[in-house]
Chain A
Amino acid sequence: MKYDLTRRKFVIGTAATAGALTLAGPRAFAADPLKVGFVYVGPIGDYGWTHGHELGREAVVHKFGDKVKTTYVENVAEGPDAERVIRQLASSGHGLIFTTSFGFMNPTIRVAKQFRKVKFEHATGYQTAPNVAVYNARFHEGRSICGAIAGHVSKSGIVGYIASFPIPEVVMGINAFTLAAQKVRPDIKVKVVWINSWYDPGKEGDGAKTLIDQGADIVCQHTDSPAPLQTAEARGVHGFGQASDMKAYAPKAQLTAILDDWSGYYVQRVQDVLDGKWKSHNIWWGLKEGMVKMSPYGDAVPEKARKDADAIRDGIIAGTVHPFAGPIKNQEGKVVVAEGKSMSDEELQKMDWYVQGVEA
């Protein structure tokens, strides 16, 4: 309900223009700038997920100037409403449309079938089509780095993890973090609290408080607000920023932050369309391609942890370190990934079990 107003305003506001443009035909003149549309699930001021995509859009504007014209629609609810917004953009002459949330997958595919000439880019999904490309970032690589740092910094050996929803993406992050932390400190425990929301500052903060009360001295989060990190700062423990550099909220507590950087990808894809070279694909980029980045280490990260973290980062970039390299034991203590093997991307994307040491 809460997102309705913004979306409706947009729909009403552009309905007339869109109608006219549909009649006029999908593409007017070759000399026209390329119209690029962005569909966001949250507000651009969320200081997290959507904010990151908005920075990507700004990079496109900055790079191409007059050659492109960008439109964005924020606060679009996942589901049937998204389809209307996407169709709106497609029918108003946009040549390239980025839909930036998992729940936009089916609407994107449906609209793409009707607008064969329009190119679509869907973030974090798995369905492609000749005119629908899929892109995602390997955030779990960043979680590995966080895990190693946590292993060094934690004194109590207990990490509190504020999690949103038990989907593979989040489970993967918890596991990558735990595995890396165990390499540094084998007895480390990761206590997970699910708050069943991506965004509820109060509840995220409460989750952090209860975890700290239970002995956690590192707070890790897979939710979007800075509240858990801010709680860590107030209680004198440490944590990691999520999606943005959250140092302003926690100058002492933030050890590092996992940053999403979509700008390189967005600029490249716009260039591809301008050059007529755009092709559908399904990519999963990480540290190597610069889609995942880490913010500068905080003062509380000791020299040894920096070395370890850098080694993991460089190893992942070089391809010598895999966040899910065996041996990996599940909760029952059974070895599920043998020594010398590592998990495939496909296995990762279906991950629904925890490694040993996770208390969820």
Chain B
Amino acid sequence: MTDSSAVLVLLTVISAATPLLFAALGELITEKSGVLNLGVEGMMLAGAVAAFAVAVTTGSSTLGVFAGALAGAILAFAFGVLTLTLAANQVATGLALTIFGIGLSALVGAGFVGIAVTPLPKLAIPGVSDLPVIGSLVFGHDALVYLSIVATVAVAWFLKKTRGGMILRAVGESDLSAHSIGYDVIGVRYRAVVFGGAMSGLGGAFLSLAYTPMWAEEMTAGRGWIALALVVFASWRPWRVLFGAYLFGGVTILQLYLQGAGGLDIPSQVMSMLPYLATILVLTVIAAGPWKGRLDAPACLGRPFRPST
């Protein structure tokens, strides 16, 4: 199978974007409920190490994926206990969660350094996957790549079309009103936080099982922070998260590609800045452009909820 280089670049972009997409979608739901969890990086690492450890010990990458999501969810639950039940400061707790996740994953992962695991199988459909261009671009990824797209659709649908989504948004926009008409603010936020953790865990699982099938300390290398930025970048809209993740992945890969292709006399350091410059540029355009600064941050974002009753 020979594909044009454009197709090959796109394939790499898809795998670079997927972990960001998972983590950012999870954080989107968390933030929509009014909770700011800065622990994405830590939860991704927990997911990555759990997924890898379980996949290696049981030999099943499917179990590994579940373990990754579960590990992320457990860390997120701990975050929930601290910030929702005990009303601790969300920013400080989130940062602590990241640092905790880095340390915990390094400790758990110490015994798994230097081991290789079979990457997640690609879901090839005989015949279809061999089609030129479309075959490899649309078909022939591993299950997690499709799951990330399905998750985008599901999150968008949930937020816009379902009663649960409306309640979630209400809780994030005005916790006191939601509370006064009888919604369980803390309960909704717990579910949103745990969902966010599970999605970060899936992003981590994708890293350690599919993207670079191995475990190495701090292998997320800052992707959790990028996912956090993507949520703002996307002004809390799922489809824009998808776009942002692929844009970010695309610019990252493109700069590597251009370096290899040669003939472009731009210092590599400038090229490395490109993805971040693109992020800042888009943020500025959103803030100053025709949308007139409608970033649409949930009104209660980061505020602890203490019912007065």
Q: Which residues of A contact B (CB under 8 A)?
A: 2, 4-6, 43, 45-47, 160, 166, 191-197, 199-207, 209-211, 213-214, 216, 225-227, 230-231, 234, 244, 248-250, 359
B221 contact from A4, A160, A166, A197, Cβ within 8 A? A197
Please name all residues of chain A whose beta carbon is closer than 8 Å to the beta carbon of B5 when the two chains form the complex.
213-214
Which residues of B (205-226) have their CB < 8 Å from a CB of A? 207, 211-214, 216-221, 223
Distance in Å: Cβ of A229 to nearest Cβ of chain B: 10
A210 contact from B106, B223, B257, B269, Cβ within 8 A? B257
Please name all residues of chain A whose beta carbon is closer than 8 Å to the beta carbon of B256 when the two chains form the complex.
193, 195, 203, 206-207, 210
B115 contact from A43, A202, A213, A248, Cβ within 8 A? A248
Q: B259, A230: Cβ atoms under 8 Å?
A: no
Which among B259, B262, B268 has the highest number of chain A CB atoms within 10 Å? B259
Q: A211, B114: Cβ atoms under 8 Å?
A: no
Distance in Å: Cβ of B17 to nearest Cβ of chain A: 11
Interface string of B245-272 (1 = CB under 8 A from A): 0000000110011011110000011011
Q: B102, A213: Cβ atoms under 8 Å?
A: no
Closest to B16 in A: A206
Q: A210, B260: Cβ atoms under 8 Å?
A: yes
B259 contact from A5, A192, A250, Cβ within 8 A? A192
Distance in Å: Cβ of A252 to nearest Cβ of chain B: 12
Q: A5, B221: Cβ atoms under 8 Å?
A: no
**Interface membership of B110, Cβ < 8 A:** yes
**Interface membership of B302, Cβ < 8 A:** no
**Interface membership of B119, Cβ < 8 A:** yes
Beyond A45-B106, A225-B216, is A213–B99 a contact (Cβ under 8 Å)? no
Further contacts, 10 of them, CB under 8 A, given A5-B102, A193-B260, A196-B272: A5-B99, A202-B220, A206-B252, A210-B12, A210-B257, A214-B257, A227-B212, A234-B119, A248-B115, A248-B116
A-B contact pairs, 14 of them (CB 8 A): A2-B102, A45-B113, A160-B260, A194-B269, A194-B271, A201-B212, A201-B216, A207-B260, A209-B8, A213-B12, A225-B214, A227-B214, A249-B114, A249-B214
**Interface membership of B9, Cβ < 8 A:** yes
Please name all residues of chain B whose beta carbon is closer than 8 Å to the beta carbon of A205 when the two chains form the complex.
211-212
Q: A200, B99: Cβ atoms under 8 Å?
A: no
Q: Which residues of B contact A (CB under 8 A)?
A: 5, 8-9, 12, 16, 19, 99, 102-103, 106, 109-110, 113-116, 119, 207, 211-214, 216-221, 223, 252-253, 256-257, 259-262, 268-269, 271-272
Distance in Å: Cβ of B261 to nearest Cβ of chain A: 6
Beyond A210-B9, A227-B212, is A201–B252 a contact (Cβ under 8 Å)? no
A213 contact from B9, B119, B207, Cβ within 8 A? B9
- Give the complex CA separation of A4 and B19 in angstroms: 26
Distance in Å: Cβ of B110 to nearest Cβ of chain A: 5
Q: A43, B262: Cβ atoms under 8 Å?
A: no
Closest to A9 in B: B103
- Give the complex CA separation of A315 and B220 in angstroms: 42
Please name all residues of chain A whose beta carbon is closer than 8 Å to the beta carbon of B8 when the two chains form the complex.
209, 213
Distance in Å: Cβ of A47 to nearest Cβ of chain B: 5
Please name all residues of chain B whose beta carbon is closer than 8 Å to the beta carbon of A225 when the two chains form the complex.
212, 214, 216, 219
Please name all residues of chain A whose beta carbon is closer than 8 Å to the beta carbon of B19 when the two chains form the complex.
202
- Give the complex CA separation of A199 and B99 in angstroms: 18
Closest to A6 in B: B103
Distance in Å: Cβ of B247 to nearest Cβ of chain A: 15
- Give the complex CA separation of A160 and B257 in angstroms: 11
Q: B103, A5: Cβ atoms under 8 Å?
A: yes
Please name all residues of chain A whose beta carbon is closer than 8 Å to the beta carbon of B102 when the two chains form the complex.
2, 5
- Give the complex CA separation of A204 and B253 in angstroms: 11
Q: B212, A2: Cβ atoms under 8 Å?
A: no
Beyond A202-B221, A248-B115, is A194–B214 a contact (Cβ under 8 Å)? no
Distance in Å: Cβ of B104 to nearest Cβ of chain A: 11
Distance in Å: Cβ of B209 to nearest Cβ of chain A: 12
Distance in Å: Cβ of B48 to nearest Cβ of chain A: 10
Q: B9, A196: Cβ atoms under 8 Å?
A: no
